Amino acid sequence: MELELELAVALESNPLLDMTDGDADFDESGESEPADVGETDASPAESASESSADDDGPLDLSLEHNEYRGTPTDEDGMEPQDAEAEDLRDHLLWQLNLTPMSPRDRTIATAIIEAVDDDGYLTEPGEALAQSVSQLFSVSADEVEAVRHRVQRFDPLGVASRTLRECLLVQLEACSRDTPAIALAEVLVDQHLDQLARNDRGKLCQKLRASADELDGAITLIRSLNPKPGAGHSAAPAEYVAPDAYAIKHNGRWQVSLSPGCQPRLSINQHYAALIARAKRDDANYLRSQLQEARWLIKSLQTRADTLLKVATAIVRAQEAYLEFGPEAMRPLVLKDVADEIGMHESTVSRVTTRKYLHTPRGTFEFKYFFSSGVTTIDGGAASATAIQAMIRKLVADERPERPLSDQALTSELNNRGINVARRTVAKYREAMNIPSSNDRARLS
């Protein structure tokens, strides 16, 4: 919806932009060829609809969840659920769970995240945060500050900053050094933020020895930053979602393609473009500027689609076993794994996986669903937290009602299957899935 609103404003203000109809022939036009997770092997566009037709009932627009219902709802034990609202702290804790940190730093980071306000700022002093974790670790305010700088690089960039200046500088730091006016923008934010707020352009140009055009470019860049990084992650009610990408097995291989409605189809208005050559000087300059903006927007949308497809393909390649055999076969996967494979930064992967959905024969899931930390196994391998939760759910579903399995019994059973997991971890997973304790299950039976 945010993208649609942004494009609506662009189409309204830029005469060089046109919205092209034709979602129906999206696949046939070749703009979103399915990406084979192995070797490229083009498949017919109809495979998406054929896959949906093979599923039970209409296209599932809901997310699987962990609510306990006693028995599986289908033969694979899959349970549908509407998309759950995720607030800023949930989003940051999810990233923290996938970030390599010592137990000491992870405890400090958790305290920082819990203290962040809804706008994404941290007002708690370092000494108070150090005191909040003193029962577990003795830490100094300097250690809290060091961990805070790491949290600031989470998505959204600038979160956990103490001031607007700091928040904007973190976001500018992440920009490419080739970004126009980046150096001037950093000086403005670092040293002249108050004058910038007063819009005192004359004095700023004089102090910075910059031209009006250079100053305007720097101000435009600063205005593109987010002064309230947490504002876009407030809790929202459950909503239905449409998939952004499809994973389909064709001729024995998993292929990924973007949804026809995922990529807006913009084009250059040729009528106005042709007027540039014969327009008056001022009009021609205006049209050239609008043409440049239109081309940049079209290129940015294509880059967005390419990145989305790369991330979806990497996820499917890593989680083929899950698609074949179900949740118990889910592999451990962290942001760095995908970032290294596609050659992008972890924060970019985190942003791409937020509120983006992949349709598979097993249902429609948010990209984040396929990421999970790992637990070592006896044979030296690793099992994902999602796989362990699926095993616990299956063990509880198959237990004798009159003799439900205790957390220790579940732990022993998992250890017998080669999963090195502690009883308290099993209890945490059980509670996260809303499965009652063995005593409560015995009473319910």
> Strand 35-36 vs strand 253-258: parallel, antiparallel, or unpaired?
antiparallel
d(CA 230, CA 219): 22
**Which pLDDT value is given to residue 98?**
93
Structural domain spans, the chain: 2-80+240-366, 88-223, 374-444
pLDDT tens column, 94-140 = 999 999 999 999 999 999 999 999 899 999 999 999 999 999 999 99
Of 252, 241, 195, give the one whose Cα is nearest residue 63: 241
| Beta-carbon count within 10 A of 123 CB | 9
Q: Is 380 left (phi over 0), alpha (psi -120 to 50) or beta?
A: left
pTM of whole model > 0.85? no
The fourth-level CATH superfamily of domain 374-444 is Homeodomain-like (1.10.10.60)
Asked if omega into 180 is within 30° of 0 (cis), the reply is no
| Residue-by-residue pLDDT tens, the chain, 445 positions | 778 888 888 888 888 888 876 443 334 333 456 677 764 343 333 343 344 334 433 333 333 333 333 444 444 555 455 555 578 999 999 999 999 999 999 999 999 999 999 899 999 999 999 999 999 999 999 999 999 999 999 999 999 999 999 999 999 999 988 888 899 999 999 999 888 887 788 888 998 999 999 999 999 999 999 999 998 776 555 567 889 999 999 988 999 999 877 777 888 888 888 887 777 777 778 888 888 888 898 898 889 899 999 999 999 999 999 999 888 888 888 899 999 999 999 888 998 888 899 999 999 999 988 988 766 666 555 677 888 888 898 899 989 888 889 999 998 888 888 788 888 888 888 988 889 888 877 755 5
pLDDT tens column, 383-438 = 778 888 888 988 999 898 888 899 999 988 888 887 888 888 888 889 888 898 88
- Where does residue 325 rank: exposed (0-12), middle (13-18), buried (19+ CB within 10 A)? exposed
